[in-house]
Each structure stands twice: as structure tokens, then as C-alpha cells.
Amino acid sequence: MTYTTILTEIRRRVGIVTLNRPQAMNAFNSTMLTELFDALEAFDADENIGAMIVTGNEKAFAAGADIKEMAYASPFEMIGQGRVEKWDRIRGIKKVVIAAVSGWALGGGCEFAISCDMIIASESAKFGQPEITIGVIPGAGGTQRLARLLGKNLAMEMVINNRTLTAAEALQFGLANRVVPVDGYLDAAVAFAEEIAARAPLAVRMAKDAVNAAFETTLTEGLKAEKRNFYPLFSTEDQKEGMKAFIEKRKPNWKGR
């Protein structure tokens, strides 16, 4: 596959997508959005890959949707193009996706990062929703995901008052999983992803799905969803192998089935 706005790479069992529009602070134009999801879906279908990373460059993870592409659009053009619906493709990805964020993660860049499963932030990462400063609001999930992740008040402040979170704040408030030095931040994210990629693939997939169910439903329904994912794992070779290996005091050898 030839891409024009992203770079792809595979390191051992980790698929990496690098957003590559540095001249535009990695703003998501339509092409980059399509290419990003095409690449993630291709990695998702590749059994040699166990986890994925999306990253940008040191200065910018992504500065949001491409303002120049939509500045003069009418609502009907925006709706017709499914402008913000396009971002929902992230929800179809079954494997774990990690955002490795350095520098700016603004607008759609922040929204994309928080719609990944986990975030590794470099010390220079900055998360914000500046849409209000250009006369709109987040449209790729920011109002909903930030409210769920951070609670109402801080989400309100970010969305209404353009409050930007530093990497340290993102860690403190539970938006980032780890903060690492800028130097080598991608390697740190790859090491993190490799741990996940080395785990029993079907269990990882069921675990991701079960945690995500918590954001969709009541506790009662969520607990049912967890059970629906728990029991079928006892039909897998990996469950037998994992428990046998524990009893035999050795490392399990996962088959992914």
C-alpha cells in the first residue's frame, strides 16, 4: 500500500503508523484520515501484528482537523462528506491501539488520542480542544470522551475555556498512561506495545471489548457484557495453555486460538 500522508512500519509484532504532514502540524485532512484508518484496519487484519501505535513527530502529534479544508464549507457539505463520522472508524479496530503523543495534540488530534486505548505521552505533550477559539466545538468525540475520562468540570474547562493539559497533568488526571522523556518516546511506546502484543491475543481482544462496554452501558449490563467475553475464552487453546503453564511454573506459549 502506498500512502502519501502517513508512514507505516512494523517492529516485531507492533504496527506503527506515523502521521506525516509536518508542514501542517499533522492536521488531519481527508486523505490522512482515510489513510490512517486504512492502515490501522490492515494491521488489525494481519495476524503477525499484536498491537498498534499511532504517533506524530516530536513537535506535533496532530493539531486537529485541517481547518483550511473546512473553513468555507456549508453544513450540508460537512454532513454530505460525513466529516466527523469518518473518525468513528477507530471504534471498529479490535486490537489495542496506543497513541504515542509528543507535542501538540489539539482538537481532532486530542480527540483521536483519547479514542485510542491508551496514551504514552512525551514530557512535551500538550492536550487541548481549541475549537471554541475558531467558533465551533469538538466534533470527533471530544465532549463525550473527555467528560467520561476527566469528569464534567475539567472537560467543560477544556472545551469551553481552551484549557490545555500538560503531560504531567494528563498523567495526574488519568488521560495518559505514562509520561516518558521526549528523547526515545516512540521506543518507550513500542516497548509498552510489545508487552501487549506478546499476550494471549483473544484474551486481549475480549478484555479491550469488555472495558469499552463500561462506557456504553449500566453496571448491570456491563457485568453481563464482561461475562459474555469471559466464558468463551474457556474454549480457546490459549486458556488451557495459560493455566497449564501457571501450574507447571513455566511461560505460556500462545497460539492465538
Catalytic residues: 65, 108, 111, 131
Nearer to ligand CAA (CB atom), residue 104 or residue 192: 104
Stretch that binds ligand CAA, among 106-114, 147-155, 160-168, 183-191 (CB under 6 A): 106-114
138 binds ligand CAA (CB under 6 A): yes
40 binds ligand CAA (CB under 6 A): no
For 95, phi and psi rounded to 5 degrees?
A: -80, 165
Single out the residue of 17, 106, 120, 190 in contact with ligand CAA (rule: CB under 6 A): 106
56 binds ligand CAA (CB under 6 A): no
Nearer to ligand CAA (CB atom), residue 63 or residue 98: 63
Nearer to ligand CAA (CB atom), residue 85 or residue 183: 85
CB atoms within 10 A of CB 38: 16
What is the grid cell recorded at 7? 508512514
CA distance 167 to 198: 27
67 binds ligand CAA (CB under 6 A): yes
CA distance 117 to 139: 19
Classify 107 in phi/psi space as left (phi over 0), alpha (psi -120 to 50) or beta.
Answer: left
Residues written for the chain: 257
Please name which of 78, 49, 66 lies closest in space to residue 106, comparing C-alpha atoms: 66
Which residue is at the shortest CB distance from ligand CAA?
A: 107
Q: State the sign of the Cα–Cα–Cα–Cα dihedral 83, 92, 215, 224.
A: positive
Nearer to ligand CAA (CB atom), residue 15 or residue 141: 141
Binding residues vs ligand CAA (CB under 6 A)? 24-25, 27, 63-68, 84, 104, 106-108, 111, 130-131, 134, 138-140
